[in-house]
Amino acid sequence: MAWIRSVLHLLWMAITVIPWTIGVVLVSFVASRASAWWVAVNWFRVVMWGTRVILGVRMEVQGYENLPLGKASAAVLLSKHQSTLETLWLPTIMPHPLAFVFKRELLKIPFFGWSMARLDMIHINRESRTVAMKHVIEQGKRLLGQGTWVMMFPEGTRMPRGEEGTYQTAGTRLAVESGAPVVPIAVATARCWPKQGFVKHPGVVRVSIGPLMESTGRDPKALMREAQAWIEAEMRRIDPEAYP
C-alpha cells in the first residue's frame, strides 16, 4: 500500500509542477522575483496537501514563536537535512521569502530547476569552496537586506536517519558578517520520507524551531558549534527511536 501511495504522490508532484513552473516563470518576468516566490510556495502547499492526503504524512511544528518578528527582521535558518520533505514544507510555514543555498546542478532538473532559476536563490559551484563561500556571503547579505531569510543545510547533504554529518560554517559566517541571528531547526523527516528508497511511509513528522542565537561579535566556528549542539540534541528528543 505504501508503494502505491508513493507512486500516486510522485504523479501528483509531476502533474502539478508543470503549470506552476509556467506560473513562476511568467510572474518573474511580468512582476518580480519576490512575487514569483509566493507562486512557488503555493505549489509547495499543493505538494504538502498530497503528502498529507495521499501519503498519510502529518507534520507537527514546535517553536514557531521563536521566529523573528517584523517585516524587516533578518534571519539565517540552519536546518538539519534528511530528505526532500523539509525543502518543500518549511517554505509554507515561514512568514518571509526564503533563499536556499544549493548546488548549481539542480537548475538542470526539468521544470523544478527551471522555476528555481527564476527565483532569487543562491546557486553555488561546489568545485571551488573559496569562491562558493564568497558568493554565499555577498548574495546572502544582499538578500537579508531585502527582507529575505537565508535557508542553509550546514551538513551540506541529506543525512540518513540517526546520523550526524560535518557541520560547515558558511551559515554562521554569513550571520556574523550580516548581523542576522541564527535560527536552528531540527527535522525528523526521514522517519516517513527517507533519504534513500522510493517508498514513503505514513506517520507523524516532528519539526522543532530553536531559540534565536545572536551573531553580533561571535566567532563563526563557536556559533556553529552551539547551533550544532542544539540541533543534534533536539533530534534525539523529537525522534528518539533513531538514536538508540
Output the domain CATH number for residue 118: 3.40.1130.10
Number of domains present in the structure of the chain: 1
Res 28: pLDDT: 87
102: alpha, beta or left, given left = phi > 0 and alpha = psi -120 to 50? beta
* Residue 168 in domain: yes
CA 143 to chain centre: 16
* Residue 49 in domain: no
Rg (the chain; Cα; Å) = 17
* Residue 28 in domain: no
Res 190: pLDDT: 96
Res 239: pLDDT: 97
Residue partners of 196: CB distance under 8 A and separation at least 6:
160
Strands 57-62 and 203-209: parallel
* Residue 221 in domain: yes
Res 58: pLDDT: 96
Element housing 9 (H / E): helix 2-30
Res 30: pLDDT: 86
Residue partners of 210: CB distance under 8 A and separation at least 6:
63, 66, 183, 184, 185, 186, 227, 230, 231, 234
* Residue 200 in domain: yes
Res 127: pLDDT: 61
Strands 149-152 and 76-79: parallel
From start to end of the chain, where are the E strands?
Answer: 57-62, 76-79, 98-103, 122-124, 149-152, 182-187, 203-209
φ, ψ of residue 224 in degrees (nearest 5)? -65, -40
* Residue 3 in domain: no
* Residue 138 in domain: yes
Measured between alpha carbons, how far is 31 from 103 in angstroms, rounded to an integer? 26
φ, ψ of residue 199 in degrees (nearest 5)? -80, 130
* Residue 94 in domain: yes
φ, ψ of residue 238 in degrees (nearest 5)? -85, -15
Tell me the residue range of the domain where 83 lies: 57-242
Measured between alpha carbons, how far is 180 from 7 in angstroms, rounded to an integer? 41
Res 90: pLDDT: 96
Q: What is the pTM of this model?
A: 0.92
**pLDDT beneath 50, residues of the chain:** none
